[in-house]
Structure 1
């Protein structure tokens, strides 16, 4: 019979992301962020390729990135309200960890498994931040998916992409819960 970790299961059953726009200072310093990053790095990774990396974006970097948004939005023909929202996503943030999907050439491990590993890192990072008592939220957005913006803003290579932007800070309020999936509509039991 397995030995349950009731505290961990309770955390996973009750965890809630905090809207990024409600996060404020203080944010974790480097010493406080290290165990969060360490926990995130303990993620499923077929082949032990580590096809991801972290960029810790502090306030000055976020302000620099926010200033790049208008030109790239105009180039892409993005609506003004979506440009303003993207500016605020970076400009109002105090600490963001960008998870960069960094595929590794491999004859054995398909690219999709490497991408899924980067996504798993995002969720592990989000949960580790929440479990550490911080507020956190996983975002992306049109700007982070644009290769030209991503190269200029984050300095990532042409074969890399942004898997997630994990905003971390102090939550101003307890986030409301939201409706959760109906397992009856999502689970199929296969017995034979």
Structure 2
């Protein structure tokens, strides 16, 4: 798939199934990720891949986080949290590993990690895979952050669910002019 075609046709795909990315595809996804804009070459990213038993472990982390947040949480809600990672054959957690820098504020480092996440999704789409960027409470939960090694100003920018589209949603048509302001006109 050509680069412009990938950019203009990528969409979030929530219904994913096997197969997920194989090892060669995963390598390409990560090579695309590290091409993200990166002021001062800080490389403020960490990618954590979950598949197989790793999805079970991530589900347990999500469930434990929910139980810690609210000990009165129902068993059904805990099971739902535990099952969430199984909505895709592979998940890549993208963490902004933030460092102190006199010219590169935290926001730029987080944006760089977000750009790395977008590069993964675009590369997956270009290879015929599908995915969705999920955030929600797990990204901001202190227990999840700790378990994934995020400390200080580090931020989990998202969980990228990757696999094969079970159903292909339509690409919404957006009118660019709805989002455009030309200065001075």
Asked if Structure 1 and Structure 2 have the same fold, meaning a TM-score greater than 0.5 normalized by the shorter chain, the answer is yes
Select 1:41's aligned residue among 9, 16, 34: 34
Structure 1: which 5+ residue stretches go unaligned?
1-5
**Partners in 2 of 1:8 and 1:40 — Cα distance?**
15
Secondary structure at 1:163's aligned position in 2? strand
Per-residue CA distance 1:131-157 (angstroms, 9 max, x = gap): 1111111112202211222212x2333
Answer yes or no: is 1:125 the counterpart of 2:139.
no
Structure-2 separation of matches of 1:73 and 1:166: 20
TM-score by length of 2: 0.86
Aligned to 1:183: 176
* Residue of structure 1 in register with 2:101 after alignment: 106
8 Å Cα contact 1:147-1:161 kept in structure 2:
no
CA contact (8 A) 1:150 1:162 kept: yes
**C-alpha distance 54-71 of structure 1, shift in aligned 2 (>3 A):** closer
Answer yes or no: is 1:156 the counterpart of 2:156: no
CA shift at 1:130, angstroms?
A: 0.8
Normalised TM-score (structure 1): 0.83
Displacement after TM superposition at 1:86 (Å): 3.5
Residues 69-125 of structure 1 show CA distances to partners (whole Å, capped at 9, x for unaligned) of 333213323975865553332134321111111012211111111111111111111
* Structure 2: gaps spanning 5 or more residues: none
TM-aligned CA deviation for residue 8 of structure 1: 2.2
Is 2:10 aligned against 1:8?
no
Number of equivalences: 183
